[in-house]
Each structure stands twice: as C-alpha cells, then as structure tokens.
C-alpha cells in the first residue's frame, strides 16, 4: 500500500467552517470549501473539488443547525467526489483549535486526555472551542483509526515574555485561575511573519515585524526575529483591536457599571461585548465592504465606526513599534487586511514619523500573493500578505504524523 499523503484541514470558526483537502507531496489543494452562517436558516455550503477535472463549485443554502451537522454535510460533499474521509490516502485530519491554554505549545495528536483539556478551556474561548470540539468528535467518529492533530491558535504566543503575558492583577488569584494573556490567531501570525521575511529576502531571525490580522476577529502581534513578543488578544479573543462584533479593549469597570447600574447579568454583558459590539454595535454592520460603501455615501455612523477601528489600529502600531524598538515591516493580513485599501491607507496615514507610508497606487493594485505597498524608499516596509492558516495547519499536522 502507498503511504498516505493527504491531510484534511478543518478550521471551525464561531459560525463557519472552512476546510481544505491537501496533497502534501506538493501541498496542492484537492478540495476547498466553506460552510457559513451555521445555526441560521440561511446557512450556506460552498464546495469546490479542485482535483476532479471539469467539476464545478457546488453551493447549497438552507438551515444547518450546528457544527456537527455542518461537518456531516462537508464529509458527504467530499465523498461525492471520491475524496471522503474513508480514503486510504488520508494521513491525518488537522484541526484548528483556538484555545490551547498554557499546555499546548506545539501541534498535538488528539487523544481522550487532549480532548478533555480542549473542553476544559471552553469558558475562555466560548465562541470557538465548542466548534473545534465538534469538528474533532465528528472526524473521530468517521475515522477512529486516523490521527487527528490539533494546531492551536495560542501556540505561537507562548514565547511572550512575562512582562507582556501577565496582567497586573493579584498574582495568587491570577495563578490559581490561570488568568494570563494567551493570544490567538497564532497560526496566522506565525505564517504571515515568516512570509514577510521571505518577501524582504531575509531569514525570519533577521526581521522585526508587526502583523495586523484583520478578519472578523482581529489581532495585532509584535514578532522579533521570528518569535512573538506581544499580541493584542489576551485571556480570551475579546481583548485588543475593534472587531466585527467584539469590543476589544475597554475599561474593565464598564462591566461593573453595566451590572450594578444598568442591571445586566454577566451572561448578557458577555453577549453584548462578544456579539453585539465592535463594528456591528457601532454602526449595525460588521462587513468592512458594507461599512466603507456606506461611509462613501456619507453615512455618519459608518464613518465614526471606521474612525474608531482605525484609531485603535494606530495605537497598536505605535505601541508595538515601541515594544520592538526597530521595525522592519508592518504587514496586513486576513479578510479586511488583505482587501480593504481604505483601512490600510487610513491606518498608516500620518505615521511618517514612524517611517511608515503607503504608496497609493501600490495600495490600490489588486494582486494575488504577498506584496509591498510602501514607497520604494520607505524606512519600514508595509506589506500585504495573504494568510493561509489551512496550509500552516496541514504542514504541521503532516510533519507530526510523518515523524
């Protein structure tokens, strides 16, 4: 029998599943797809079997109740193309797991004890770890013999020094309850910072990079010589930048006030800050395309939301410039970072004193792949680097199972 060389990657988000089937001999994609709006009546599955000659993208719309149902639908689509989970060519399933706490510093083969720990971390990643667990359980049920590998969002950030990773709260309380800054999107920050070094023609050890991962969830990281030294998310993916539906940084006393004065209970406040804040809370939309369209039509609330978003970004760019001391590159990635020329332009505007500038023509030029958008003479490179969490997860999972 030939050695299996394929890896199925499941990237389960709070309301979506992105998946890819890769052949690791050349990292080519055999199938890619997405299930969106899980839990709503208008869930959508989009599946593209790239390995099947002449096959076209298939799309379905209709209610998909939860991540287990979504994964069953994905498995069925893959099976239609002869790429199902029963394939002997599968070497592993790689799972994005958002919270790995302090324990998981590297990709890990999932057994009962690992799964138990991922479940124990649900309270600190309530939007994400439950979805990750469902993905793991469905895949395990379909192929109990296959290695299931967890690749953690938190791993890349475990190199942060204590000065960045600790909150200034009572040490005994923090230690007893493991209250610590963990950071997320680490797979993306790792991949994108390495690709940025490549774009500059240097080794990762030679460059200091600020990465802005701006998707629905958003985070910034300061990467010195390939190692993360600070990141904007903390105990949970709520801290830091303004996001699609999350507030990012606030005075923690807002929570006391909402409880004591506004009479909200803690679960209501949790939902308010995680699901009804950020851009959706500020202007009713969380899609940057819609926000910029409204802004260009003169909508004041969309403009203010955009300005708050950009103001927070600037603060982190300044902070991480100071943390790093010397910055070689500022890199934009993920849905907003890769696509929104308006956000990139506004985030860097006025930062000439930091050596930062964006060339308007390069910024507007649409292109696949990593590219520079700063003027040739700029002191700090500004880059757009498409993230590829799925490739990074597949590479890690395959390396682990191949030994």
Ligand X SMILES: CC(=O)OP(=O)(O)O
Q: Which of 24, 334, 385, 391 binds ligand ADP (CB under 6 A)?
A: 334
**In DSSP terms, which residues pair with 150 in a beta bridge?**
95, 108
Position 237 contacts ligand X (CB under 6 A): yes
Assess contact for 6 and 22: CB atoms under 8 A. Answer: yes
Q: Which residues 343-372 are close enough to bind ligand X by CB under 6 A?
A: none
Residue 242 to residues 54, 132, 135, 290, 314, Cα–Cα distance (Å) = 42, 24, 28, 16, 12
Position 339 contacts ligand ADP (CB under 6 A): yes
Other C-beta atoms lying within 10 Å of the C-beta of residue 296: 11
361, with CB counted inside 10 A (0-12, 13-18, 19+), is exposed
Q: Which of 4, 225, 335, 355 binds ligand ADP (CB under 6 A)?
A: 335
**Closest separation between CB of residue 243 and ligand X, Å?**
7
Positive or negative torsion for Cα 242, 248, 251, 256: positive
Position 98 contacts ligand X (CB under 6 A): yes
Q: Which of 19, 104, 184, 320 binds ligand X (CB under 6 A)?
A: 184
Which of 23, 145, 153, 270 is flagged as catalytic?
153
Give the sheet arrangement for strand 329-333, strand by strand: 227-231, 218-224, 208-214, 329-333, 381-384, 371-372
153 is catalytic: yes
389 has binding-site annotation: yes
Looking at beta carbons only, is 147 or 244 nearer to Mg ion? 244
**Closest separation between CB of residue 16 and ligand X, Å?**
8
Residue 329 to residues 193, 311, 354, 374, Cα–Cα distance (Å) = 9, 20, 11, 10
Closest CA to 349 of 333, 362, 339, 360: 360
Site mask for ligand ADP (CB under 6 A), range 176-215, x = bound: ---------------------------------------x
Query: By CB under 6 A, which span of 140-148, 211-219, 303-311, 378-386 interacts with ligand X?
Result: 211-219
336 has binding-site annotation: yes
Q: Which residues 259-288 are close enough to bind ligand ADP by CB under 6 A?
A: 286-288
CA–CA separation, 310 and 205 (whole Å): 30
Position 78 contacts ligand X (CB under 6 A): no
Assess contact for 211 and 192: CB atoms under 8 A. Answer: yes
Out of ligand X, ligand ADP, Mg ion, none, which partner does residue 98 contact, by CB within 5 to 8 A per kind? ligand X
Assess contact for 246 and 277: CB atoms under 8 A. Answer: yes
Looking at beta carbons only, is 33 or 215 nearer to ligand ADP? 215
CA–CA separation, 322 and 310 (whole Å): 19
55, with CB counted inside 10 A (0-12, 13-18, 19+), is middle
Site mask for ligand ADP (CB under 6 A), range 220-259, x = bound: ------------------------x---------------
Looking at beta carbons only, is 165 or 242 nearer to ligand ADP? 242
Assess contact for 402 and 33: CB atoms under 8 A. Answer: no
Q: Which residues 111-130 are close enough to bind ligand X by CB under 6 A?
A: 128
Position 215 contacts ligand X (CB under 6 A): yes
Position 216 contacts ligand ADP (CB under 6 A): yes
**Total number of residues that touch ligand X (CB under 6 A):** 11
Q: What's the chain's length in residues? A: 403
The residues carrying an active-site annotation are 153
Residues near ligand X, by CB under 6 A:
13-14, 98, 128, 153, 184-185, 215-217, 237
Residue ranges of the binding site for Mg(2+): 11, 389
Residue ranges of the binding site: 11, 18, 96, 213-217, 287-289, 335-339, 389
């Amino acid at each position: 029998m030939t050695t299996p060389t394929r890896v199925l990657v499941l990237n389960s988000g709070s309301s979506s599943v992105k998946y890819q089937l890769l052949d690791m001999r050349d990292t080519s994609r055999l199938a890619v797809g997405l299930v969106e709006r899980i839990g709503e009546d208008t869930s959508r599955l989009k599946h593209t079997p790239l390995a099947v000659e002449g096959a076209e993208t298939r799309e379905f719309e209709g209610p998909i109740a939860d991540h287990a149902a979504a994964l069953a639908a994905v498995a069925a689509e893959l099976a239609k193309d002869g790429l199902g989970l029963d394939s002997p060519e599968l070497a592993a399933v790689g799972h994005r797991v958002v919270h790995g706490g302090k324990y998981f510093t590297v990709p890990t083969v999932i057994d009962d004890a690992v799964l138990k720990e991922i479940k124990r971390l649900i309270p600190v990643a309530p939007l994400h770890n439950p979805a990750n667990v469902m993905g793991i359980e469905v895949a395990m049920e379909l192929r109990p013999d296959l290695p299931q590998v967890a690749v953690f969002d938190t791993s890349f950030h475990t190199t942060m020094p204590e000065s960045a990773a600790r909150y200034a709260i009572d040490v005994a309380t923090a230690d007893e309850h493991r209250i610590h800054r963990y950071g997320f999107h680490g797979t993306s920050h790792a991949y994108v910072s390495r690709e940025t070094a490549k774009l500059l023609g240097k080794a990762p050890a030679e460059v200091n990079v600020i990465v802005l991962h701006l998707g629905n969830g958003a985070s910034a990281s300061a990467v010195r010589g390939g190692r993360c030294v600070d990141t904007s998310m903390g105990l949970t993916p709520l801290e830091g930048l303004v996001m699609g539906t999350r507030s990012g940084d606030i005075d923690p006393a807002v929570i006391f006030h909402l409880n004591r004065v506004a009479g909200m209970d803690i679960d209501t406040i949790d939902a308010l800050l995680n699901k009804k804040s950020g851009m959706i809370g500020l202007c009713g939309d969380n899609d940057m395309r819609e926000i910029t369209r409204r802004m260009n039509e003169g909508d004041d609330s969309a403009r203010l939301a955009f300005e708050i978003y950009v103001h927070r970004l600037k603060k982190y760019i300044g902070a991480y410039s100071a943390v790093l001391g010397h910055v070689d590159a500022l890199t934009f990635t993920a849905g907003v970072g890769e696509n929104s020329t308006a956000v990139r332009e506004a985030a860097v505007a006025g930062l000439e004193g930091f050596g930062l500038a964006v060339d308007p023509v390069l910024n507007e030029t649409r292109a696949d792949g990593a590219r520079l958008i700063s003027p040739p003479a700029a002191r700090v490179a500004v880059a757009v680097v498409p993230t590829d969490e799925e490739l990074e997860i597949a590479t890690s999972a395959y390396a682990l199972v191949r030994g």
